[in-house]
Amino acid sequence: YVEYKLIRKHIRTFHCGKNHKCINCSKKFPTLDKLRIHELSHSEHRQFLCANCGKQFKRKDKLSEHMRKIHYPDKEKISTTPRQKHPKNFVPKVLGNVSGYTQFVYKCHICIVGFKRRGMLVNHLANRHPDISPDSVPELNLPILKATKDYYCQYCDKIYKSSSKRKAHILKNHPGAKLPLSNKQMSTVSSLPGQENGTYSQTVGSVTTNPQGCQWCHKQYASKAKLLQHQRNKHSHLLPKSLQVISKSVKLVYMQVLA
């Protein structure tokens, strides 16, 4: 393999244990995503509607196939070559008629598929069109709009520009105090009208930043910190030792010094 991501995908597909078992037929799958796609075959629920003829499908990829073959066969002939032809298990994130597809900022012009988020298009190109460089796609060269937040300490009047610095402050100056919820934790909690903001943070503006690309795979991020976090998780062995994951105890001391 010429790229690390390709051999990693091969290992996950063919050499990882099949630990995800279907409760309906006992078939096993290597990933949870493949199990969920399979489970649709046992369901009668058809949530994907063709806007042109009203036919319904259980899976997005079946709706995609229907659209290409029935409603846009000419587009299929023009855009599909043996090298670009999609596998049967292709599951696009967002698909509609051509007029609907054009409303998305991020879109694949080969598959006539629109995406809600930038990262979805980056992943799609890497998986389906690895010969297309993100640098050659105009939409992926636009600056990223990044929200800026203030993070408040609920125990004093301190305000920080990052949740990690606030966390270090609380651990150092309010030992034993409960930490605010992270944005990830908050997304799993139902938000009700009048409910207190558990993250104790507020969006105060936005800035534009250029995408930070990983030199070892297709992933891109809005900040160097997020890129480094990704590289530590996925490519730690390729990083200089000074940038590799540090122990929790050393990290805690470092955060306390920052506070």
> Which amino acid, residue 186?
M
Q: What is the pLDDT of residue 98?
A: 52
Residue 245 CB contacts under 8 Å (≥ 6 apart), including other chains: 232, 236
Nearest to 58 by CA among 46, 42, 43: 46
Q: Which residue has the higher pLDDT, 169 or 140?
A: 169
- The pLDDT tens digits for 11-51 are 766 666 667 788 888 788 777 777 777 776 777 666 666 76
- The pLDDT tens digits for 148-162 are 889 999 999 999 988
Q: What is the pLDDT of residue 16?
A: 63
Nearest to 113 by CA among 123, 99, 101, 121: 101
Verdict on whether the full-model pTM lies above 0.85:
no
Reported as a pLDDT band with limits 50, 70 and 90, residue 171 is very high
- The pLDDT tens digits for 196-217 are 567 888 888 877 788 888 888 8
- Residue 221 contacts residue 210 (beta carbons within 8 Å): no
Q: Which residue has the higher pLDDT, 62 or 74?
A: 62
The phi and psi torsions of 245 (rounded to 5 degrees) equal: -60, 130
